[in-house]
């Protein structure tokens, strides 16, 4: 099982990845990041996307939906932003946030690889 740093590096190897963060959705704090830089401030993205996760969880509660969120996808002109809540017991309350370049990323393959990495992640 890869640790957090190894998993973040694996995610950075997904074609087209700009940056990745492991985020605590209760506090909005990034527990770990890779990539980003001048192109993307991952600490700001982590805090902002925490609001997205919270809003979706509230909406699901109001709708009495008992399903789990697999991922949330936000498409921009030049980027994909994926939010994937962790489902393991040790990952409860955490999510992965990944930003990808649309012109380089294969969205289906990125989702598949992210799911595999998340399943193996030891937080």
Going from N- to C-terminal start, the domains of the chain cover: 2-111
pLDDT of residue 89: 61
pTM: 0.92
CATH fold of 2-111, please?
Beta-Lactamase (3.30.450)
pLDDT of residue 87: 79
pLDDT at 117 over 70: yes
pLDDT of residue 90: 60
Predicted confidence band of residue 112 (pLDDT cuts 50, 70, 90): very high
CA distance 26 to 12: 25
């Amino acid at each position: 099982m890869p640790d957090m740093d190894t998993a973040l590096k694996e995610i950075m190897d997904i074609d087209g990845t700009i940056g990745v963060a492991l985020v605590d959705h209760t506090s909005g704090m990034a527990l770990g990041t890779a990539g980003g830089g001048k192109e993307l401030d991952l600490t700001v993205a982590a805090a902002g996307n925490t609001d997205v996760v919270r809003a979706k969880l509230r909406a699901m509660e109001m709708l009495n939906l008992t399903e789990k969120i697999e991922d949330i996808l936000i498409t921009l002109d030049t980027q994909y932003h994926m939010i994937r809540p962790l489902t393991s017991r040790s990952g409860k309350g955490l999510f992965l946030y990944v930003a990808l370049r649309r012109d380089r990323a294969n969205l289906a393959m990125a989702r598949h690889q992210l799911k595999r990495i998340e399943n193996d992640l030891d937080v």
